[in-house]
Amino acid sequence: MSSLDAELAGDLASHDLIPPHAHGRRGFWREARWPARIAALVVGALALIALLGAWITPHDPDAVDLAIRLQPADAAHWLGTDHLGRDILSRLMAGATMSLGSVALAMALILTAGVILGGTAGFAGGRVDQMIMRVADVFLTFPTIVMALFMVGVLGVGLTNVIIAIAVTHWAWYARMVRGIVLSLRRRDFIAASRLAGASPTQTFIRHLLPATMAQLLVLATLDIGHIMLHVSGLSFLGLGVSAPTAEWGVMIADAREYVWTEPLLMFWPGLALFISVMALNTLGDALRDRLDPSLRAEHGH
Amino acid sequence: MSALAAKNRDTEDLNVRARRRRDWTMAGFIVRRLLLLPVMLLAASVVIFLMLRLGPSDPALDYLRLSRVPPTPQALDEARRALGLDLPLITQYADWLWKALRLDFGQSYVTSRPVLPDLLHYLPATLQLAGAALVITLAISAPLGVWAARYRNGLPDQIVRLIAAIGVSMPNFWLGFLLALLFAVHLGWLPAMGRDGWRTLIMPAAAISFMTLSINARLLRASMLEAAGQRHVTWARLRGLSPRAVERSHVLRNALLPVITATGMYVGELIGGALVIESIFGWPGVGRYAVSAIFNRDYPVIQCFTLLMVAIFVICNLIVDIIYAWADPRVRLAAEGAP
């Protein structure tokens, strides 16, 4: 099975890993259609807010002032205040740091684990490959949310543990993909040349195999990141992630539950922020995929 | 005349024999997959067991905390012995497995009640919710996908693309609240809470299924377009069959195969969605029970819950694989070797 697979994958890889049209850096922007451009702008703005977060919020996101609780929107508080009189806009901005930061961290963990384990499996082959991939298979038999719930149960409640749990539930997909690409390339002459020139396996992997996986990894990561964001916020909505006073979108929705019938806007804003972010990331991922890797055009979902 | 009849009988005979052989190989396929099932569950149980034991916390400590016993060294030792934590890991696992095989998954640290009956008490509600979401997913995504593929790049395709883009980006718990606000509070059409007949089922199931139906509609569209590019479809068109007939009997049938596979994948998504959505609509399923067990670090409950969910997921995928093998003649016939 594997030789045919490898041949097929190699065939795909040799055609598609090179972008169809190698333009300059501005190529993506010029070619992208307007939804992709808007998505890129939104993601850029979100990243900026997430990075500057603490410095640009109009109010202290955690400042409690019961005298002005549940105020409607006005000039001072553009989106009103919540049940403890905290400014909702400020909390949304501070929440961006938490939400996007935790997702970025989870993604970094997933990519690291996926590249190391998948790369080792593909490059070392043999028994190591068998072992790593069998473990990956077991992890793939768990439904994502169930596995994440279980990992939080093992590690305890908290944002760090939610991030680890998400990484544990997702690495296997990435490891499988990296392994497939490495398998398709490792018998090529340039790899043999690199080894003959005296490069260690690790060096060869980093120098010659890793770059080949980057395009597909980037595409998979951008398509997945919105999904992961929904998982993280779902877990914090259940109260398993960030603890109460910290601003995070999932927690803000959970906090607003008691007031959902009387003050529905309290729950509306953080959900909208989450929705827009995920949608922007998904749209950007679609555009990147169409550009970098047309072979992946089949719908992606798990 | 008689020669023709004999030939006819021969082909009939061949057909019958082929069908018999096919049924037999299908049975073989199902048996093989069924034999694989315990292996997968065993592997999952090892992972669950090892992670719980090698995790950062001490079950004995949590046990004492939950039974409100002060954790003196003496009490800790006693708890360890009572829970079997002083034995080697392999012995512990064998012990656990032996009990699990007799459906004894231990007692909850909190309530001291056996775990499995409690979970099984809540499970039907969750399965009902996930099942309803699956029905909604299939019932809505199929026409949407066909519609989008039929008018490729036209207005319907754009509409379905937009719906799908919204669907995969919307947090299901937020959608749940929005639905409840609209249909329960403003319009008053549906009850906001509880589990009381099909009317309470609609909103939570809809909230769970929006994402999967979006993915499914896009997938069906893509696979229909791919199937429409096959040569036998061109041939069917050349024979003068109406577009609808071609679509029905040549495109859709092939296009459904990837959709069947994908259904297995998102069964996990539906179950996960149900676990989250239950808390919004006051749906009495396993979700809330599991979440409170996670808060309390009630290990036997966490362990049994995870294994139960994995078992359901694996069994659903087994059913999906069987349906796939049955629907795809290539799999069906490949099992018989070369034709």
Mean pLDDT along residues B76-91: 81
Q: pTM (2 decimals)?
A: 0.82
* Residue A3 located in a structural domain: no
Question: Range with the lowest mean pLDDT among A28-37, A89-98, B30-39, B230-239?
Answer: A28-37
- Residue B237, number of CB atoms within 10 A of its CB: 15
Domain of A230, CATH number, reads: 1.10.3720.10
Q: What is the pLDDT of residues B125-138, one digit of tens each?
A: 999 999 999 999 99
Predicted-complex ipTM score: 0.83
* Residue A223 located in a structural domain: yes
Of A239, A275, A282, the CB nearest to B171: A275
* Residue A268 located in a structural domain: yes
Say how far apart CA A236 and CA B259 lie, in whole Å.
31
Say how far apart CA B225 and CA B191 lie, in whole Å.
41
Mean pLDDT along residues A21-26: 48
Among B65, B162, B170, B174, the strongest candidate for a mutation testing the A interface, having the largest count of A CBs within 10 A, is B174
Q: Do B165 and A283 touch (CB under 8 A)?
A: yes
Q: What is the pLDDT of residues B190-224, one digit of tens each?
A: 888 877 888 889 999 999 999 999 999 999 998 88
* Residue A240 located in a structural domain: yes
* Residue A202 located in a structural domain: yes
Mean pLDDT along residues A97-114: 92
B2: pLDDT strictly greater than 90: no
Tell me the sheet residues that pair with A81.
Answer: A87
Q: What is the mean pLDDT of chain A?
A: 81
Q: Do A282 and B169 touch (CB under 8 A)?
A: yes
- Residue A280, number of CB atoms within 10 A of its CB: 23
User: Cβ(A241)–Cβ(A248) under 8 Å?
Assistant: yes
Interface of B with A in 288-307 (CB under 8 A): 290-291, 293-295, 297, 299, 302, 305-306
Radius of gyration of chain B (CA): 26
Which residue range(s) make up the domain with A215? Answer: 88-292
Say how far apart CA A169 and CA A148 lie, in whole Å.
6
Q: What is the pLDDT of residues B27-71, one digit of tens each?
A: 777 888 888 888 888 988 998 888 888 877 778 888 887 777 777
* Residue A122 located in a structural domain: yes
Q: Does B166 touch chain A (CB under 8 A)?
A: yes
Q: Do A153 and B293 touch (CB under 8 A)?
A: yes
Residues of A whose CB is below 8 A from B44: 138, 141-142
Distance from CA of A282 to the nearest CA of B (A): 7
User: Cβ(A226)–Cβ(A283) under 8 Å?
Assistant: no
Residues of B whose CB is below 8 A from A156: 56-57, 297
Q: Does B269 touch chain A (CB under 8 A)?
A: yes
Q: Do B168 and A152 touch (CB under 8 A)?
A: no
Q: What is the pLDDT of residues A208-251, one digit of tens each?
A: 888 888 888 888 888 889 989 999 999 989 888 877 678 888 88
By C-alpha distance, which of A129, A105, A292, A116 is closest to A206?
A116
pLDDT at A113: 94
* Residue A179 located in a structural domain: yes
Spatial neighbors of A55 by CB under 8 A, at least 6 apart, are none
Distance from CA of A84 to the nearest CA of B (A): 21
Spatial neighbors of B76 by CB under 8 A, at least 6 apart, are B60, B61, B64
Q: What is the pLDDT of residues A39-81, one digit of tens each?
A: 889 999 998 988 887 777 777 777 777 777 777 777 777 777 7
Residues of A whose CB is below 8 A from B47: 138-139
* Residue A155 located in a structural domain: yes
DSSP-assigned letter for residue A257: G
Q: What does A27-66 look like in DSSP terms, one character per residue?
A: HHHHHS-HHHHHHHHHHHHHHHHHHHHHHH-SS-TT---G
pLDDT at B159: 93
By C-alpha distance, which of A97, A222, A107, A126 is closest to A169?
A107
Q: Which fold, B115-335?
A: MetI-like fold (1.10.3720)
Domains of chain A: total:
1
B263/A80: higher pLDDT: B263
